[in-house]
Amino acid sequence: QKEVEQDPGPLSVPEGAIVSLNCTYSNSAFQYFMWYRQYSRKGPELLMYTYSSGNKEDGRFTAQVDKSSKYISLFIRDSQPSDSATYLCARGGYNKLIFGAGTRLAVHP
Amino acid sequence: DVKVTQSSRYLVKRTGEKVFLECVQDMDHENMFWYRQDPGLGLRLIYFSYDVKMKEKGDIPEGYSVSREKKERFSLILESASTNQTSMYLCASSSRTPAGNEQFFGPGTRLTVL
């Protein structure tokens, strides 16, 4: 079993839809979780960063961690074509990150 | 504007060649990382370094070596390139924290081994 599991998609939604991206993780010892966004032919960039359980909101993006079920989620409200990218979840710890496989999202007008 | 730069965006090499990929960061970060990214497999850590001349194996170090002679520079070496090393290679850096804080990535090098 991979330490961080993520459905690679692809996921295709119409503009304005609410998008839900999800990951599961296996090691409950770690408390830092991140979402990176990667546009085509670019390196990943940090989108959201959460510590422990709960929600964190930034504009149209909400990151959620449920430690009881070992679930990490990213919600995108009012999705835009510019949100089309690959989204990678990661858990942090010991100066390293463990990434999920990444979910490719396409938002069509 | 903080930056991680990689020496090449695209590289084509032949089987058996020695390949050098270079990465430079200007953020005075202690940690530097080399990943490869393949479809469906995500980012896999090859090697990382937490200080000059220090290195640790990641999840897939076989066929690779690294060098860190200066804090800002981290090199990935393919001693004898093989076709299964065709991939996107990403370099990253981060400050040293127990949490494994935000990593800043370079634009990547797409390596093709023929």
pLDDT tier at B83 (50, 70, 90 boundaries)?
very high
In three-state form (DSSP H/G/I as H, E/B as E, the rest C), the secondary structure along A51-96 is ECCEEEEECCEEEEEECCCCEEEEEECCCCHHHCEEEEEEEEECCE
Count how many pairs of residues, chain A against chain B, have C-beta atoms within 8 Å.
61
Overall residue count recorded for chain A in this entry: 109
pLDDT of residue A29: 79
**Which helix (H) or strand (E) segment is B113 a member of?**
strand B109-113
Hunting for tokens 């079993």 — which residue is that?
A1
Residue A82's CB: how many other CB atoms inside 10 A?
9
Is residue B107 within 8 angstroms of chain A, CB to CB? yes
pLDDT of residue B100: 55
pLDDT of residue B44: 93
d(CA A36, CA A16): 21
pLDDT tens readout for residues B33-74: 999 999 888 899 999 999 999 999 999 999 999 999 999 999
The interface residues of chain B toward chain A in range 47-106, judged by CB-CB distance below 8 A, are: 48, 50, 58, 90, 92, 94, 96-106
Contact B41 A88 (CB under 8 A): no
d(CA A98, CA A90): 5
